[in-house]
Amino acid sequence: MNVLVTGGAGYIGSVVVEELLSTGGKVVVVDDLSKGHRNAVPDQVAFVEGNIRDHQLMKEILIENQIEAVVHMAASSLVGESVKLPDKYFDNNVTAAKAMLDAMRVTGVNKIVFSSTAAVYGEPKRQPITESDALAPTNPYGASKLEFERELQRQRDEYGLVFTSLRYFNAAGATSRCGEQHDPETHLIPIVLQAAMGQIPSVGIFGDDYLTPDGTCVRDYIHVRDLARAHVLALKDLDGSKTYNLGCGGDGYSVRQVINAACDITGRKITETIMARREGDPAVLIASSEKIRRELGWEPEFQDLGVIIRSAWTWTIAPGKRVSHSM
């Protein structure tokens, strides 16, 4: 299958590209490099630097490469930033993405796998979260992703669009090539590893007064390679309209558990500082991934937090670090 990956030079996108290549498909990447890195895209992949809202460019890419399906990952994706800059999130995640859907429609490409998020659930009433639970985002990031999910449903009804939405929980970890490093960094695991490296004096814990076992927020961390494999399965199965959670389930891990595990793995002292809660953060987000396990046969291989952090640490301290990413 000929697949276009939007945002394929980003952290998760580049690992999805690695997985797609390993299955032997033709892969094309479009990325405006506002966050992604050109060198994250392997040489055998056709790369186009451009923005998904460029209708003419998108039509050309879709036609010239005889694209059969799109994996749409190009987006703004930081919860905290979205609270400060909501317009940016609706513009990039809804308006630009709709322009891309228009290009798909006029070129007859009607299959898409969409990177959605656990943030569509907001502050859920029960855990683990299933796909049919209430959708009530508590931040503009989640609201923008939900709005685009609804656009996909609308275009399914109007034009027969075929889609799968994958609601990611907390992507983490690294492959031997690709790891996570943003500028500025906001995600917990890279920040904890920066503290382990002595690059920052301490890790700020955003609130220790949540109703969780140790008072800090609990998240469901999923290895980026497991996440990427789900895209390959979703592409093979594209038929109708489907929505799947993507997390490992279980009890999740608190911010403190992440810091403690990183201390053990790195053998370094990591100092913590309690700070105010970060606006828009739900206390607990844990996936039920029963549906994707049952319907697509997906199973996480690297669900242990230690394995996830070790892969990120190995990448972080690698001499002549390979590829760093911003999504």
- For position 188 contacting ligand UFG by CB under 6 A, the verdict is yes
Among 141, 168, 210, 244, the one annotated catalytic: 141
- For position 313 contacting ligand UFG by CB under 6 A, the verdict is no
Minimum CB–partner distance for residue 187 and ligand UFG (Å) = 4
Among 187, 268, 291, 322, binds ligand UFG (CB under 6 A): 187
- For position 259 contacting ligand UFG by CB under 6 A, the verdict is no
| Residues facing residue 72 across a β-bridge | 6, 114
Among 29, 113, 195, 217, binds ligand UFG (CB under 6 A): 217
Catalytic residue status for 11: no
With contact defined as beta carbons under 8 Å apart, do 291 and 4 qualify? no
- For position 222 contacting ligand UFG by CB under 6 A, the verdict is no
Among 40, 52, 58, 205, binds ligand UFG (CB under 6 A): 205
Please state the separation of Cα 259 from the chain's center in Å: 22
Question: What token pair was written down for 202?
Answer: 């301490």
- For position 206 contacting ligand UFG by CB under 6 A, the verdict is yes
Cβ contacts of residue 157 below 8 Å, gap of 6+?
A: none
- For position 174 contacting ligand UFG by CB under 6 A, the verdict is no
Stretch that binds ligand UFG, among 35-43, 60-68, 88-96, 185-193 (CB under 6 A): 185-193
Q: What's the burial of 301, exposed, middle or buried (CB within 10 Å: 0-12/13-18/19+)?
A: exposed
* CB nearer ligand UFG, residue 206 or residue 302: 206
Classify strands 69-72 and 111-117 as parallel, antiparallel or unpaired: parallel
Stretch that binds ligand UFG, among 62-70, 87-95, 128-136, 186-194 (CB under 6 A): 186-194
Among 41, 52, 174, 285, binds ligand UFG (CB under 6 A): 285
* CB nearer ligand UFG, residue 44 or residue 276: 276
- For position 195 contacting ligand UFG by CB under 6 A, the verdict is no
- DSSP, collapsed to helix, strand or coil, labels residue 136 as coil
Among 28, 45, 112, 118, binds ligand UFG (CB under 6 A): 118
- For position 32 contacting ligand UFG by CB under 6 A, the verdict is no
Query: What single-letter amino acid sits at 76?
Result: S
Q: What's the burial of 156, exposed, middle or buried (CB within 10 Å: 0-12/13-18/19+)?
A: middle
User: Sheet harboring 69-72: ordered strands across?
Assistant: 46-49, 26-31, 2-6, 69-72, 111-117, 162-168, 241-246
- For position 79 contacting ligand UFG by CB under 6 A, the verdict is yes
> What would the DSSP string read from start to end of 64-128?
HTT--EEEE--S---HHHHHH-HHHHHIIIIIHHHHHHHHHHHHT--EEEEEEEGGGG-S-SSSS
Distance CA 211, CA 5 (A): 39
Stretch that binds ligand UFG, among 63-71, 123-131, 187-195, 289-297 (CB under 6 A): 187-195
Among 47, 114, 169, 315, binds ligand UFG (CB under 6 A): 169
Residue recorded with tokens 């990413």:
325
CB atoms within 10 A of CB 294: 9
Among 204, 215, 314, 322, binds ligand UFG (CB under 6 A): 204
Catalytic residues: 141
Binding site for ligand UFG (CB under 6 A): 77, 79, 117-119, 169-170, 186-188, 191, 203-206, 217, 219, 255, 278, 281, 285
